[in-house]
């Protein structure tokens, strides 16, 4: 397909949902963002990997915390849950 867009938005609806809910429901896509819960999809060959690696290096502590959380049985379902767990782990480490 020669006319495929470089970026698309996965349209997940109008409220925060878990990954499992997204996989069970209807997910559509569009070239334009339709709502706050849409997720931008970028073709892998267009991703600026060097910039991403540099940004991850700057945030090594958070990346390590996410890695530890991913090994947990109760891995967070939503981004908000993930951020709360990261902040809690960070506070525990600073005490």
Q: Is the pLDDT of residue 2 over 50?
A: yes
CA distance 72 to 75: 6
**What is the per-residue pLDDT for 77?**
62
Strands (E), 12-91: 28-30, 39-42
Tens digit of pLDDT for each residue in 39-84?
A: 888 877 788 888 888 887 888 777 777 777 776 666 656 667 777 7
Q: Is the pLDDT of residue 95 over 50?
A: no
CA 48: distance to chain centroid? Answer: 16
> ∠ at Cα 73 (70, 75), nearest 5°?
45
């Amino acid at each position: 397909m020669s006319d495929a867009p470089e970026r698309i938005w996965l349209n997940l609806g109008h409220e925060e949902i878990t990954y499992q809910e997204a996989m069970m429901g209807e997910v559509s896509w569009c070239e334009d963002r339709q709502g706050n819960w849409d997720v931008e999809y970028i073709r892998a060959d267009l991703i600026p990997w060097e910039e991403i690696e540099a940004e991850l290096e700057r945030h090594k502590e958070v990346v390590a915390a996410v890695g530890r959380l991913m090994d947990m049985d109760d891995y967070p379902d939503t981004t908000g849950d993930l951020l709360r767990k990261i902040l809690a782990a960070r506070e525990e480490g600073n005490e």
